[in-house]
Amino acid sequence: MGKSQSCNYNKYVNIAWICIIVILGNVYELVVAADQHPELSWSKRAAIEAESVASKSCSGHGRAYLDGLIVDDSGAPVCECNPCYEGPDCSQFIPTCSADAGSGDPYFLEPFWMKKAESSAVLVSGWHRLGYTYSDGSYISKALENEIRQLHDFVGNAVTKGRYILYGAGSAQLLSAAVYALSPQNSSSPAKVVASSPYFGLYKTQTEFFQSRAFEFAGEASTWKNKTNSTTQFIEFVTSPNNPDGKLKNPVLQGPNAKAIFDRAYYWPHYMPISAPADDDIMLFSVSKLTGHAGTRFGWAVVKDEAVYERMVSYIQENTMGISRDAQLRAFQLIKAILQGKGNGKEIFDFAYKTMSKRWERLSKTLSATSLFSIEKLGAQYCNFFHKVRHPSPAYAWLKCEREEDKDCNAVLEAANITGRKGSAFGAQDRFARLSLIRSQDDFDLLIDRLNKLAYEESGTRFM
Amino acid sequence: MGKSQSCNYNKYVNIAWICIIVILGNVYELVVAADQHPELSWSKRAAIEAESVASKSCSGHGRAYLDGLIVDDSGAPVCECNPCYEGPDCSQFIPTCSADAGSGDPYFLEPFWMKKAESSAVLVSGWHRLGYTYSDGSYISKALENEIRQLHDFVGNAVTKGRYILYGAGSAQLLSAAVYALSPQNSSSPAKVVASSPYFGLYKTQTEFFQSRAFEFAGEASTWKNKTNSTTQFIEFVTSPNNPDGKLKNPVLQGPNAKAIFDRAYYWPHYMPISAPADDDIMLFSVSKLTGHAGTRFGWAVVKDEAVYERMVSYIQENTMGISRDAQLRAFQLIKAILQGKGNGKEIFDFAYKTMSKRWERLSKTLSATSLFSIEKLGAQYCNFFHKVRHPSPAYAWLKCEREEDKDCNAVLEAANITGRKGSAFGAQDRFARLSLIRSQDDFDLLIDRLNKLAYEESGTRFM
């Protein structure tokens, strides 16, 4: 046997053995992988489609959605750009565009959910919950109710033990459900619905729109102080923390004929130190200002009195036959993702508070450079959730225009190319205006830019 | 060199080559597979979870849902059984259980969506549509609107060209939106809301519940015939085909002060031959009776008059700030799955008609064996959609109890262990009762069994 042949022989034996080991290794890996990641079948198309849409590059100034109206040549939805950005990949800034600080679209939480993509995604099968009711015959997902109670216990912002919980399409629908529930049935004297300004505009428009014989909007709560001993029922909307000014509020009217509906949409550590669990007769919450999902239209009411709860449930039944099971499933997955996140659920509150407090720092610095506007300072408080003394970081800035001639504060903003909301939309003077601080980072950055420019021009004028 | 060594040498060379070819083959397959099935990342958990829940064996008498209240030891949701079935896998029939023909839960379409699992699934990302509005500032997904128009064009059941479309939480919310829109604003004379019995009970309960100054329920339409020349506005609910009796209906009241709201929820080939596209001033539709998704709470209105449309939009805005974006996304995916299915969308109508007509065949056969009940026969018509003469196959059977003493027809059904709905819930006599025929196959089979038993017992009594 020649040396070279013997050498080749050994070489081939070695190669053969290596090959066999590699193949066995592959087979083992495939078996393990199949066990860890079972092969997907019917769900794969939807998953691939969602990831494909999500991977669309929109330059950080927009995003594509599954149900986008405009699709590209391949049938895939195109980017929907943030205000002030355009182009196929949203990369082009529109310099003349107005800074949007108008509506309370809570896009500031979008980056959080993009980071939590895996835990927050939900795949809905075609046959998910076809029927009108859950298996207990109700319109209310009890699994979601359990999560809601768990979340309130964790945050410590509301007492839910021994309380009834029902759902509405956002807190909007629950507002009128509560008004109907508290109004007299078959009485010739309609209940008077009041609030103290500045207040959320929907309280007035909604109450007036329904033209009910059972209730009517009666304006400022303080007008009716010491007049509640009559047989007229008073229903007072109390938003605490308040939209638009961020203050904690109490009912103005007291007495046996005065009932309050507490809108607690903003009583989360994002916006306000949690000093104690709220324990009002009727409390309204919504995912909109908790998780940022305004579009899901999902809110809940925590109610003490059984009869009031039952009447609210009747309203929701007559109005919409309960709340979309898809909205309930989404809320279920989102709150589950929160509760199963780092720190047993603390992560979203850390993120939201950090974002909001940073925004307030920047806004305060900017506003300190101008004498055009003032904002009432809210005092720091001990937060039982964060175990720290913290300043409020409200969802909105409630500006007062300080110059005598600036009777229309929103017009001053408009002139500076900023979209706010005028004071009269909140039952207040137009010397006030609201700026929304919970929109996207793009919107907020542009708002600060525009305010800085205004401050700079004003200081120039002042010292001219 | 020995013979055996030479032989081994060749063997090892061959093994080595085979191995190399196998490995190269594997690598090629992996590359091709990766291209055909891109690796999933963040969506995988949700997809695996959905398939795992769907694969839960519930013996064909139930199914598990992602948001099930009760979970097993591994944290996975357990089976939710159809009425009359129990046990961990829903395999145990409860013989004493009442046959459920009560509510209109449209589970008869569940098998269709299970078959269409792939095309109907939708994966919702955590950041899907956070904001209040779509990118055009409206509450209405235009992509879904396009599909709805396409579907009506395909089926030929409604004129949508030049018409406005808006959404509601099921047709329930659209009913009151339409009533508000047609009622006088700031008039001392409320509109009279009427219907002709038998009619869907919600028309009355909803109208009464809202206690509006703008409208009031005024009962039977025929009572007001020839009295519409006054200044009072009349609003007539016309359900066509009708719930509960399946008949095509026209408004009873005519004249300049009479307006009709057409509830067209059942005007699909499932239930009624499509003789012509409906072209009413206000038409209401809903996914509930089209796709079977009652729980999604999604309906739409097709409206001729712009001012009426605008007022309906205002109602939806004040009431719930639009409809859940999750419900809209679900409806979008379902209608897309219909339109992209076999026969350009014909498949679901074939399935639904076949199911309903089979059920009617069985029911008619059963009822022919007893003189206890009668049903008014609906005539066959040419269906433009199926291009055939076809008998209606309504969603409900409207029974009349024929024996003099059976003044409460629902009580007769209850005595036979059947849950129906009494005539007075439809503004009719209790000599009538409604049976829902659109529930699960289990419910329908049990209904037929119980009716057969009743017929058998009755014939025994008759010939005794």
CB within 8 Å: A43 and B106: no
CA distance B392 to chain A (A): 24
Q: What is the DSSP letter of B420?
A: -
Q: Directed axis angle between helix A142-155 and helix A325-339, to 10°?
A: 40
Within a 10 A sphere around the Cβ of B115, how many other Cβ atoms?
14
- Judge whether residue B307 has pLDDT over 90: yes
**pLDDT score at A319:** 97
Taking only the tens place, the pLDDT of each residue in A382-395 is 999 999 999 999 99
Q: Collect all residues of chain A within an 8 Å Cβ-Cβ radius of residue B172.
A: 318-321
**Mean pLDDT for all residues in chain B:** 92
Q: Collect all residues of chain A within an 8 Å Cβ-Cβ radius of residue B114.
A: 126-127
Side-chain half-sphere CA neighbours of B322 within 13 A: 18
Q: Where are the beta strands (DSSP E) in A43-163?
A: 62-63, 80-81, 85-86, 92-93, 99-100, 122-124
Confirm or reject contact between A109 and chain B (CB < 8 A): yes
Q: What is the DSSP letter of B187?
A: -
Instruction: Judge whether B97 and B418 are in contact, CB under 8 Å.
Output: no
Per the listing, tokens 């990949």 go with A89
- Scan residues 65-84 of B and list those with Cβ closer than 8 Å to A: 65-69, 80-81
What phi and psi, each to the nearest 5 degrees, are found at residue A43?
Answer: -85, -10
CA distances (Å), origin A425, targets A204, A243, A420: 10, 11, 11
How far apart (Å, rounded) are the C-alpha atoms in residues B422 and B400?
Answer: 11
What phi and psi, each to the nearest 5 degrees, are found at residue A283?
Answer: -120, 135
Per the listing, tokens 């006088």 go with B184
| A197-217 residues labelled b (16+ CB within 10 A) or e (exposed) | bbbbbbbbebbebbbbbbbbb
Q: What share of chain B is helix, strand, coil (3-state, %, to 5)?
A: 40, 15, 40
- Residues B380-384 have a mean pLDDT of 98
Q: Which two tokens mark B97?
A: 């259980």
Nearest of B240, B263, B278, B286 to residue B392 by alpha carbon = B240
| CB-based contacts of A259, cutoff 8 Å, min separation 6 | A182, A233, A234, A235, A236, A281, A282
Region of A322 please: left (phi>0), alpha (psi -120 to 50) or beta: left
Question: Which among A49, A50, A327 has the least Cβ separation from residue B326?
Answer: A327
Within a 10 A sphere around the Cβ of A265, how many other Cβ atoms?
25
Q: Which two tokens mark A7?
A: 């050498």
Region of A18 please: left (phi>0), alpha (psi -120 to 50) or beta: alpha
Confirm or reject contact between A55 and chain B (CB < 8 A): no
**pLDDT score at B228:** 72
Partners of B238 in beta bridges: B262
Long-range pairs, B455-460, Cβ under 8 A, ≥24: B455/B366, B455/B367, B455/B369, B455/B370, B455/B372, B456/B369, B458/B370, B458/B371, B458/B372, B459/B369, B459/B370
- Scan residues 251-270 of B and list those with Cβ closer than 8 Å to A: none
Which is it for strands A282-286 and A258-263: parallel, antiparallel or unpaired? Answer: parallel
Work out the pLDDT band at B194, boundaries 50, 70, 90.
very high
| A56-76 residues labelled b (16+ CB within 10 A) or e (exposed) | bebbebbbbbbbbbeeeeeee
Q: Which two tokens mark A250?
A: 């109490």
Nearest of A436, A209, A429 to residue B321 by alpha carbon = A209
- Judge whether residue B1 has pLDDT over 50: no
Within a 10 A sphere around the Cβ of A137, how many other Cβ atoms?
8
Sign of CA dihedral A92, A93, A95, A101: positive
- Scan residues 323-352 of A and list those with Cβ closer than 8 Å to B: 323-330, 332-334, 337
CB within 8 Å: B48 and A37: yes
Taking only the tens place, the pLDDT of each residue in B251-279 is 999 999 999 999 999 999 999 999 999 99
Confirm or reject contact between B404 and chain A (CB < 8 A): no
Q: Collect all residues of chain B within an 8 Å Cβ-Cβ radius of residue A41.
A: 51, 118
Confirm or reject contact between A19 and chain B (CB < 8 A): yes
How far apart (Å, rounded) are the C-alpha atoms in residues A124 and A383?
Answer: 38
Side chain identity at B139, as an amino acid letter? Answer: Y
Q: Where are the beta strands (DSSP E) in B22-141?
A: 62-63, 80-81, 85-86, 92-93, 99-100, 122-124
Q: Directed axis angle between helix B44-54 and helix A44-54, to 10°?
A: 160
Q: Collect all residues of chain B within an 8 Å Cβ-Cβ radius of residue A85.
A: none
How far apart (Å, rounded) are the C-alpha atoms in residues B45 and B60?
Answer: 26
H-type alpha helices, A210-249: none
Question: Which among A107, A133, A134 has the least Cβ separation from residue B130?
Answer: A107
Which is it for strands A80-81 and B164-168: parallel, antiparallel or unpaired? Answer: unpaired
Domain B142-343 belongs in CATH node 3.30.1280.10: no
Q: How many CB contacts within 8 angstroms connect chain A with chain B?
A: 375
**pLDDT score at A304:** 98
How far apart (Å, rounded) are the C-alpha atoms in residues A139 and A153?
Answer: 24
Q: Could you tell me which chain B residue has the CA closest to the CA of A17?
A: B16
How far apart (Å, rounded) are the C-alpha atoms in residues A454 and A401?
Answer: 13
Which is it for strands B62-63 and B80-81: parallel, antiparallel or unpaired? Answer: antiparallel
Confirm or reject contact between B106 and chain A (CB < 8 A): yes
Question: Which among A19, A67, A322 has the least Cβ separation from residue B23?
Answer: A19
Higher pLDDT, B188 or B295: B295
How far apart (Å, rounded) are the C-alpha atoms in residues B406 and B321?
Answer: 48
| CB-based contacts of B181, cutoff 8 Å, min separation 6 | B308, B309, B311, B312, B315
**pLDDT score at A224:** 94
- Residues B151-171 have a mean pLDDT of 97
Confirm or reject contact between A107 and chain B (CB < 8 A): yes
Q: Which two tokens mark B293?
A: 């998704």
Q: What is the DSSP letter of B246?
A: -
CB within 8 Å: B38 and A22: no
Question: Which among B16, B206, B332 has the least Cβ separation from residue A67?
Answer: B332
| B283-316 residues labelled b (16+ CB within 10 A) or e (exposed) | bbbbbbbbbbbbbbbbbbbbbebeebbebbbebb
Q: What is the DSSP letter of A379?
A: P
Confirm or reject contact between B422 and chain A (CB < 8 A): no
How far apart (Å, rounded) are the C-alpha atoms in residues A236 and A254?
Answer: 10
- Using a 10 angstrom Cβ sphere, with 0-12 exposed, 13-18 middle and 19 or more buried, the burial of residue A103 is middle
CATH tag, B346-462: 3.90.1150.10
**pLDDT score at B460:** 77
CA distance B443 to chain A (A): 13
How far apart (Å, rounded) are the C-alpha atoms in residues A408 and A432?
Answer: 7
Side-chain half-sphere CA neighbours of B70 within 13 A: 9
Q: Report the first-to-last Cα separation within chain A, whole angstroms.
A: 105
Instruction: Give kind and range of the element (H or E) at residue A111.
Output: helix A110-115
**pLDDT score at A3:** 52
**pLDDT score at A227:** 82
Taking only the tens place, the pLDDT of each residue in B411-453 is 999 999 999 999 999 999 999 999 999 999 999 999 999 999 9
Q: Report the first-to-last Cα separation within chain B, whole angstroms.
A: 105
Q: Where are the domains positioned within chain B? A: 54-97, 142-343, 346-462
CATH of B54-97, one of 1.10.10.60, 2.10.25.30, 3.40.50.300, 3.30.70.600: 2.10.25.30
Instruction: Judge whether A236 and A258 are in contact, CB under 8 Å.
Output: yes
pLDDT in tens, chain A (464 residues): 445 555 566 666 676 666 566 666 555 554 444 445 568 999 999 999 999 999 999 999 999 999 998 888 888 899 999 999 999 999 999 999 999 999 999 999 999 999 999 999 999 999 999 999 998 999 999 999 999 999 999 999 999 999 999 999 999 999 999 999 999 987 778 999 999 999 999 999 999 999 999 999 999 999 999 887 678 999 999 999 999 999 999 999 999 999 999 999 999 999 999 999 999 999 999 999 999 999 999 999 999 999 999 999 999 999 999 999 999 999 999 999 999 988 889 999 999 999 999 999 999 999 999 999 999 999 999 999 999 999 999 999 999 999 999 999 999 999 999 999 999 999 999 999 999 999 999 999 999 999 999 999 988 766 55
- Residues B86-90 have a mean pLDDT of 96
Q: Collect all residues of chain A within an 8 Å Cβ-Cβ radius of residue B67.
A: 129, 141, 143-144, 328-329, 332
CB within 8 Å: B297 and A9: no
Could you write out the DSSP letters of every residue in A47-76? HHHHHHHHT---TTSEE--TT-S-B-TTSP
Could you write out the DSSP letters of every residue in B24-41? HHHHHHHHHHHHHSPPP-
Confirm or reject contact between A63 and chain B (CB < 8 A): yes
**pLDDT score at A24:** 65
Question: Which among A41, A117, A296 has the least Cβ separation from residue B326?
Answer: A296
Per the listing, tokens 């506003």 go with A367
How far apart (Å, rounded) are the C-alpha atoms in residues B303 and B174?
Answer: 11
- Judge whether residue B34 has pLDDT over 50: no
**pLDDT score at B381:** 97
CB within 8 Å: A5 and B8: no
Nearest of A322, A341, A7 to residue A136 by alpha carbon = A322
